[in-house]
Amino acid sequence: MKRRNLALCPEARAEASARIFAQVEAMPAFAAARTVALFVSLDDEPDTREALERWRATRRVVVPRVEGETMRFFRYDPATMRSGAFGIPEPGPEAEPCDPAAIDLVAVPGTAFTASGARCGRGRGYYDRYLAQPGMRAVRIGICYRHQVVEALPVEAHDVRMDAVVRG
């Protein structure tokens, strides 16, 4: 999947990303959300840059920071972003933390998804551990390119299902 994602030309990636985030914005769960968790995209993921800027104008947007084996979310502020785990920009130490119970909608990246919400991540379990926390009530939206939706995936007991999968 990573190779297929990276093979997308910049124009195709931009068009797919725009379609994906427009679909999310059209969802009732997004309309009702006051706090939205969104990932900062890697080169092989749908591009979140425009959505981050657009959404933070109307909502509290939080993004992840990896701390050892734990992932936590912090208010997105471009001024606090720095290079973090795996070379992904993440909030610096001065960023405002977000309680998991305060998140209304979380956009979740993945390597592959099924239409019914099964997700294959990158293998480290950060999102599964985060989404399984007590008090976490956010609507979980899988975010991917069309070709990342497959018929079936192996699912383990700790894998957290998505409430919906949006593909572009």
pLDDT in tens, the chain (168 residues): 888 998 999 999 999 999 999 999 999 999 999 999 999 999 999 999 999 999 999 999 999 999 999 999 999 999 999 999 888 999 999 999 999 999 999 999 999 999 999 999 887 889 999 999 989 999 999 999 999 999 999 888 888 999 999 999
Query: What pLDDT score does 146 carry?
Result: 95
Is the Cβ–Cβ distance between 140 and 165 less than 8 Å? no
| Rounded distance between C-alpha atoms, residue 142 and residue 108, angstroms | 5
